[in-house]
Amino acid sequence: MSEKTHIHGYYRYPALYGETIVFISEDDLWRVEASGGTARRLTAGLAECSFPSISPDGRYIAFIGREEGHPEVYLMPVEGGQPKRLTYLGGSLTRVLSWKDGSIIFTSNARQGFLKFQELYRISPEGGEPVSLGLGHGVSISFGPDGKSALGRNTADAARWKRYRGGTAGEVWLDAEGKGNFTLFSSTLGVKGNFVSPIWLELKGGSRICFVSDHEGIGNLYSAKLDGTDLQRHTHHEDYYVRYPQKDSKGGQRIVYHAGSDIYIYDVETEKSSKVTIDYQSPRTQCNRKFVEADKYIENFGIHPESDTIIITTRGKSFSAAFKEGPISQFGVPQGIRYRLTQYLCDGEHLVTISDASGEEAIEVYSSDNKLIKSFETHDIGRALTLSASPKKKQVSLTNHRQELLMLDIDTGDLTKIDKSDCNRIHTASWSADGRYIAYDFPTSHEACEIRIFDTVSGKSHTVTKPVLRDFQPCFDPEGKYLYFLGQRVFNPAYDTLHFDLNFPRATKVYLVPLRKDITSPFMLQPKKRKTNSEKDTKENTQQEKELEIDFDGITGRAIEFPIPEGRYHHLGAGKGVILLSQFPFEGALTPGRSGILSNGTLEIFKFEDKKHEKVSDKITWFTLSPDGAMLI
């Protein structure tokens, strides 16, 4: 039997009582001495634990558990044992903060009108109904003597949005006299930062408020007097933020916190911070192989130009598979590199992908037999958001986080910046069937977005719509007659059922722009003309060979509304004689899972031949079409 090997866990949410530390790792509670040593697992439940706090007598641990779904307050002996559930609130955000006068202090968004609005409560270790502290919105609180307290509002973990300076940055309010009169302490500090995790300290030199701030770049522990003067920095972490500090619940002048994956103890008297060395032994059950639902991990997929193969990107790896039969093949390096947005090039023999092999994201090209053909590591493409291949040439367009639209010629390596918005990100870029034009949505303000078309031959962009608010999701007709898009142009308000007010729950309609002046509206009644088979074949062959023509003169005034009701349309695609739409239902702000990936959409089709608008499928997340518009996934 070999000697045990050292395993380093990821340690979070530490709580301190004298020489005992309780922390979270692998979603379970662990216990270790403050001086370090072997950690002992206290729980092995089916769900995650978080935010432990040790009682002032050192006998119990209050923590958040999810054994029955929602985060609720639980209690268990500090030595271990069966947890006891104390609350039944059903909120989505609940966090244990500390203990006060024998009660557990926690914050929760239960019973609130908004998900991020939280209120402070106390509850007896014996259970019962939680009692509000009556302080309104509060995320954290620390108590001083004689009823004094430091209240934190918007004081979520600063590391989740580093150096945030917006309107919901953390604030610390003080009741310096214990009379319930709070003043904004953080505004007296003379620095602008995100102030979180207030801790009241009673020292020989007087009272001080300790807190985490990142006004100097990285979140560290600071403190100041109650009037905001004498601001001092106590820790000096340069790589990771100080996160979730807690004061010694036994009454000592020490603060425990975690930074990165390690636990530290800051001694207020010696003004030193030391890392706790933990001997961590775990079977790492969560690293075991497991079977998962594939659709939960799919990031992107694309269809081969011949519509016989699909390329799927899942968990940073790309795989190809035939639709009917055949093996699944992985592209790229099997492990250690993350691939995104993989697509087939127009020849069907090569694939283009975004790779982080060099440490920065770059475009790479692979052959169908998994050989790296080209890597464009020297091109600065930013963080790619979308990647689209030309249907006729070895060219790709991509949008990035810098609000740019770029085009790369695979053969020459030339990278062209087509456009850049000063207002918002460009979300969609769609190629014409002949590979000459790229249609894209371009934000002109924070509220408005227009459609533009870039001509790869002339190198010029043309505005093709005049939006009211947002025109988006442009898509070329495969037959070269129209440009389709979604727009928020018609306002049909609906009265609210509870509040006497109007809103616009369904404000999106479908539009098309005839690309030439001689093309009439497809919704006008036309007399039917009989054609011989030879005439039809001649016309089809002519259309396939003829390059797409666009009359840009007066094109902004040619938008035509589809005879389809307004809705909540998200995605638009076009096939021969049809358009496809995804639509998602209107949901309330408290709907569970609303902030996650939308998966309850409907797929709808509009047929030009009979002007019918029908539902094709439901419970969809996304759809894509093959380059010729003949295959749908």
Q: CA-to-CA distance for 300 and 316, rounded, in angstroms?
A: 10
Q: CA-to-CA distance for 474 and 452, rounded, in angstroms?
A: 9
Q: CA-to-CA distance for 360 and 337, rounded, in angstroms?
A: 11
Q: CA-to-CA distance for 476 and 513, rounded, in angstroms?
A: 10
- Alpha-carbon distance values, 166 to 169, 192, 348, 403 (Å): 6, 10, 47, 21
How long is the chain?
633
The DSSP letter of residue 508 is B
Q: CB of 441 within 8 A of CB of 486?
A: no
Q: Which two tokens stand for residue 395?
A: 């060219």
Largest interatomic CA distance in the chain: 101
Tell me, what's the pLDDT at 284? 85
Where would I find the H helices in 419-516?
Answer: none
- Alpha-carbon distance values, 320 to 311, 328, 385 (Å): 4, 6, 21
Q: Which two tokens stand for residue 619?
A: 């419970």
Q: What architecture (CATH level 2) is domain 1-134+277-282?
A: 6 Propeller (2.120)
CA neighbor of 616 nearest in space, from 587, 578, 590: 578
Q: CA-to-CA distance for 98 and 150, rounded, in angstroms?
A: 13
Q: CA-to-CA distance for 429 and 217, rounded, in angstroms?
A: 36
| Domains 1-134+277-282 and 139-247 agree in fold | yes
Radius of gyration of the chain (CA): 30
The DSSP letter of residue 431 is E
| pLDDT block averages, 10 residues each, the chain of length 633 | 67 96 96 95 92 96 94 96 94 95 96 89 96 95 94 92 91 93 94 94 91 95 95 95 96 94 95 94 84 80 87 90 83 91 92 92 91 91 93 93 94 94 93 93 94 94 93 93 92 84 87 93 73 52 65 93 91 91 80 63 90 89 81 81
CA neighbor of 249 nearest in space, from 430, 36, 105: 105
Q: CA-to-CA distance for 186 and 512, rounded, in angstroms?
A: 54
Q: Which two tokens stand for residue 389?
A: 């291949």
Phi, psi for residue 186 in degrees, rounded to 5: -65, -25
The domain limits of the chain are: 1-134+277-282, 139-247
Does CATH place domain 139-247 in 2.120.10.60?
A: yes
**CB-based burial of residue 236 (10 Å sphere; 0-12 exposed, 13-18 middle, 19+ buried)?**
exposed
Ranges of beta strands (E only) in 18-169 are: 20-25, 28-33, 37-38, 40-41, 49-54, 60-65, 72-77, 84-85, 94-100, 103-108, 119-124, 127-137, 140-143, 149-153
Tell me, what's the pLDDT at 1? 42
Where would I find the H helices in 200-316?
Answer: none
- Alpha-carbon distance values, 281 to 66, 258, 339 (Å): 24, 19, 33
Tell me, what's the pLDDT at 257? 97
Sign of the Cα torsion 206, 211, 216, 218 reads: positive
